[in-house]
Structure formats: C-alpha cells, structure tokens
Amino acid sequence: MRYLVSMARILVGLLFIISGFIKLNDPVGFSFKLEEYFSAPVLDLPFLEPYALAFALFLAVLEVMLGVTLLLGFRIRLTVWTLLAAILFFTFLTLYSAITGKVTDCGCFGDALKLTPWQSFYKDVVLLVLILILVRRSEHIKPLGSQGLRLGVTLAILATCAWFASHVLNHLPWIDFRPYKIGASIPEGMSVPDDAPKPVVEYAWTFDVGGKEQTYTTLGEYPQVDGEFLRVETDEIDPGYEPPIHDFSLERDGADYTQALLARKQLLMVISYDLARSYHPAFAEIAQLANSAKTLGYTVIGMSASSRESTEALKAGYGLDIPFYFTDQTALKTIVRSNPAVLRLESGVIRQKLHYNDLDQLQLRALPDEERDDLPLPISIDSLVEPDPQYRGDGASEEEAQEPEIENDSTIISIP
C-alpha cells in the first residue's frame, strides 16, 4: 500500500502541476474556455462570464499549489480533500461535455494537448481513483524535510505563481502552443496536403420494400434496392484532416482578401477581437505606429469581429487611418492574447507578436522598393460572397453586406 500511495502521490502531484502551469501560462485563453462553459447554451450561467479571468487565475494557481503541497506532504489532509473536491468538479464538467457535446475541448491542457471530451473524462476518472487512494491512505504520505522548509517552499511557489500570472497577463504567454506562434506561416497552416485523409461520411438510406421500411448503410454509394426511396440520413464518422489554421479569413464588403494580404511582403496587423472590450488608450500609440509603418512602406490593416460602425468610430476617435477587415472572433482570440495587439508578418510568416504594453518593441525599417507592395489587391470574382451574418456584430450596417464595385470589369480592387 505504501508503494501504491507513493505512485499515486507522484502521478497526481506532477499532473496537477503540469496542468496548472499550462493554464497559468495562458490564463486569458483558459478564461475564454470558462466563458464558453458559463454561456447560455452550456451551463447557462452568464452572470459569471465577467469573472471568467478571475476564476481562471484561481483554478490555475490552485492546481499548481495542490500538486506542490502533495509532493511536499504539506497540510496533507487539507491537500487530499481539496484534491478530491477539485477532481469531482472537473469530472462533472468533462462528463457533461462528453454527454452533451456542447463543449468539444475541456481546456485541461490548454493548446498544448487537445483532448476529446471523452478522453478528458476518462483521464479524470483515473485521477479520481488515485486521489481516493490518497484520501483513504493519507497516513502513508510522509512529509519531506522540516515543517519550516515545506512552508517556505510553498510560499515561494505561491509568490512565483503570482509573479508569473502578472507577467503573462501584461505581456503574452511565455510559451505559445498555438498555430500562430512566432515563426509560423499562416498560409502553410491553412494548407491541406494532397494525401491528407478525407472525411468519412456514413449514409443511411431508407426504402419502402414491400410495404415495410428498410434501411441500408453505405459510405456514399447509392444502394441497389428493389423498392421506393424514402429518405437518407448522413453521419460523419471521421472528420478527416483538419489543418491547424482553418477559420482564418480577411473579409470586407463581401470580398475575401485573405490570400492577397497574406502575400504582402511586409504586413502589419492591428488586432482587436472586440473593440468594446479592448484597452482603448493603446490605440493612440497604435495610430502613430501605423502612420510610421505606412511611411516606411508597410501595408497596415486592422482586424476585428466588431461592426463597421465600431471600427469607423474608433478610426475617427484616434486618427487611425487604416482599413479594417472582418475576421472570426474565435480566430482572433486564438491568434493573440491581447486586445488590442500588433503582429508583423513577412509574406505570411509571423515575425513579431506584441501585447499593447510592448508596442515600443515593434521593429520597423525603411523598406527597399522590392519589399514594398504598392499595387492594388487582387481578388477573385468568385470570392465576392457575403460572410455568414452569424459572425458579424449585431450593429453591422447594410453597407457591410454590399459588394464592392469592380472598375472596368477587372478583377483588381484597390485597398479599401
């Protein structure tokens, strides 16, 4: 039993520390996941959404500290019973997600390791068994070192967690596990290899055969049945390959400028997923940087999921003379954990990602002629489609849905 308790102690302690550190590295991302849980379609606790970041910080620090105190053997009874309460809470959430399918990723390990709801639930069940062993046989958990040493280490780790949380909140995550990390190519992240697995869809065909309904299942081919066809139902049993970046686009007035803008040799992106929740004083400095960048030869654009009225009001209020493009809010939240933020790209490759507190670190230079993009943006006529209105702000104007005019029936459109 002592060996079993020791094994459970090490496994649970290390797993809680790793899980908590990953969340603490990106508390804003974890808060987005909690907002999803609190939303009306899931747990229907919208009054908790404003406190999602506070909950995220508390849970992340709690996980790290529980893992540390368990390994140290500090306040053993309090630690193991708190571990039990925590794992019961997490098990409930993962089981709810698995049964309902309303949350497809529990966020247990952030963007470092994606688990399906059922995988997360099974992981929590294993942890629950191990923690029950620790609760039942807590007398076998032997403390390490003196009580003063254990207290000192615990307080030192707590202070380190507080400093680390403050640092990543006021800058950016220390480790970036997302497909938009520095050095990543957005066009490559959006591409699908030729040999990538294709989606597998199961078709259930129902026929009237001799007055009785009979169902035949195929993978797409129409069954040869001597009867009257009634209906068909489909079920995706394998989604196939999904590229790391699958929800990124740059749209304006119904036109898709994604490929044209990502092809720019030097591109500066000003990102704010929601202008109403952004830190507005930063836009004064961003406006100055945008003017300097354009003078040096950079293409400068804004990206937001807010309405046209909101972006125009922002531009007028801060003298921000750049065109804004619509991008899905979830994609913008994934790109960078700052609102607003600035990204510098070279031919679609991310070279800098800056929190609004770090704008003074933006590296700009006078571009030679071969790196300047002064030509109008080419777009395909086929791309002139209205974006799905569910992604637009409630205050989107009718002007946003209008297609841009194409001069002389050409496929070249000037930068908006």
Using the 3D structure, point to which of 180, 214, 238 is the last residue of a domain.
238
Residue 133 and residue 221 share a domain:
no
What average pLDDT does this structure show over 238-267? 91
Provide the mean pLDDT of the chain. 87
Using the 3D structure, point to which of 192, 216, 238 is the last residue of a domain.
238
Kindly tell me the burial class for residue 219, based on how many C-beta atoms sit within 10 Å of its own C-beta (0-12, 13-18, 19 or more).
exposed
pLDDT in tens, 348-402: 999 999 999 999 999 999 999 888 876 566 554 344 444 444 444 444 443 443 4
Q: Which two tokens stand for residue 12?
A: 């649970």
Residues 164 and 24 sit within 8 Å (Cβ to Cβ): yes
Residue 138 and residue 81 share a domain:
yes
Residue 125 and residue 29 share a domain:
yes
Residue 206 and residue 160 share a domain:
no
Residue 216 and residue 72 share a domain:
no
Q: Is residue 186 part of a domain?
A: no
- Please state, for a pLDDT cut of 90, what percent of the chain lies above it: 70
pLDDT score at 70: 96
Residue 280 and residue 230 share a domain:
no
pLDDT score at 206: 95
Residue 395 and residue 260 share a domain:
yes
Residue 261 and residue 229 share a domain:
no
pLDDT in tens, 29-72: 999 999 999 998 888 899 999 999 999 999 999 999 999 999 99
Higher per-residue confidence, 182 vs 110: 182
pLDDT score at 271: 97
pLDDT in tens, 221-235: 899 888 999 999 998
Report the CATH number at residue 287. Answer: 3.40.30
pLDDT score at 401: 38
Q: Is residue 190 part of a domain?
A: no
Using the 3D structure, point to which of 132, 155, 170 is the last residue of a domain.
170
Q: Is residue 206 part of a domain?
A: yes
Q: How many domains does the chain have?
A: 3
Residue 375 and residue 319 share a domain:
yes
Q: Is residue 191 part of a domain?
A: no
pLDDT score at 282: 96
Residue 148 and residue 33 share a domain:
yes
Q: Is residue 63 part of a domain?
A: yes
Beta-strand runs (E) in 305-379: 324-326, 341-346, 349-355, 377-378
Where is average pLDDT lowest: 284-293, 309-318, 388-397?
Answer: 388-397
Residue 351 and residue 228 share a domain:
no
pLDDT score at 386: 43
pLDDT in tens, 112-137: 888 888 899 999 999 999 999 999 98
Q: Is residue 180 part of a domain?
A: no
3-state class (DSSP) for residue 385: coil
The pTM assigned to this predicted structure is: 0.79
pLDDT score at 375: 59
Residue 217 and residue 152 share a domain:
no
User: Which range marks the domain in which residue 20 is found?
Assistant: 2-170
3-state class (DSSP) for residue 410: coil
Question: Is the pLDDT at 301 greater than 50, yes or no?
Answer: yes
pLDDT score at 378: 58
Q: Which residues pair with 235 in a beta bridge?
A: 202
